[in-house]
Amino acid sequence: MSDITTKTYRKLALRVGNDGFSFAVTDTLSRRVTAFERVDFPASAAIGSPEKTEGHYWDAFVRHPELVRPYDEVVVLHDNPLNTFVPEPLFDEEAAAGYLQYGTRVFASDTFAHDLLQPQGMVNVYIPYAHINNYLLDQFESFDYRHSASVLVPRLLDLSRNDYSRQVFAHFSEAVVEIVVVQNGQLLFYNVFDFVSPEDFLYYLLFAAEQLSLNPEEFPLRLLGDVTDASPLFSIAYRYVRNVSLLETSALSDLTGVDAAGARRHFIVFQA
């Protein structure tokens, strides 16, 4: 543990995937974001070997000196759809593969991890990127890692406390949307969908609404992530859901140095 003479008062958050990563550096005294960037790898990287992925990370770390400076805290968020939420009383660490096998292909070589979410009383069970963790272990003295949804979902649950209406959130990342439905601090629905067109997103949204008996004329839909009010994703949602808006993030963070659009687009890495 660092003592006061070696503390940097800097925190690094990384949201990692096979196709690239984003990072944010925060001054922990002033709560100011001092550096932020999204690094995209070539399209072939997402389907390449772990060794090639590590090579892309190595190149990126060479090009971004912020990533190799000393930090008091390093947080790594694994961004993938290989996860599921389990009520804490039903969780058994030895049965991790069993929780995932109905929605994810599970292999004997997979590594499993879990995040205990308190006070929500849930456990997020997931498959981390072991090869990315191995690379980062060579770069940092230590770091904490968890799943990106272990940041997203609790923050959205916080927004719903003392509100007994059911609220729907759609978080966009590239060609992926996470649909989250919450009510008074309780998670009612969470799923991840790949999409190509805005119509794909609309289909998944209305399908989830139908499963939960939600009326598009009534439920509020809040959009965040890689979306703006000029986006076709916003436009198609606005045509079919009466109450649509971009998520207001100002009440969720005391960070400075990033504008509202950036805080919304890169919500997860700034909330880590």
Q: What is the pLDDT of residue 253?
A: 74
> Each residue of 37-61: pLDDT tens digit?
999 998 776 666 888 999 999 999 9
**Before 128, cis peptide (omega within 30)?**
no
Give the mean model confidence (pLDDT) for residues 214-233. 96
Q: List Cβ neighbours of 196 (8 Å cut-off, separation of 6 or more).
A: 175
Question: Which of the four pLDDT bands, split at 50, 70 and 90, describes residue 255?
Answer: confident
- With a pLDDT cut of 90, the percent of the chain lying above it is 81
The residue among 250 and 228 whose pLDDT is bigger is 228
Q: What is the pLDDT of residue 142?
A: 93
Give the mean model confidence (pLDDT) for residues 249-261. 81
Q: What is the pLDDT of residue 2?
A: 54
> Each residue of 157-183: pLDDT tens digit?
998 988 899 999 999 998 999 999 999
> Each residue of 177-194: pLDDT tens digit?
999 999 999 999 999 999
The residue among 259 and 237 whose pLDDT is bigger is 237
Question: Which of the four pLDDT bands, split at 50, 70 and 90, describes residue 75?
Answer: very high
Count the neighbouring beta carbons within 10 Å of the beta carbon of residue 127: 22
Question: Which of the four pLDDT bands, split at 50, 70 and 90, describes residue 251?
Answer: low
Residue 1 scores a pLDDT above 60: no
Q: What is the pLDDT of residue 49?
A: 82
> Each residue of 83-115: pLDDT tens digit?
999 999 999 999 999 999 888 888 888 999 999
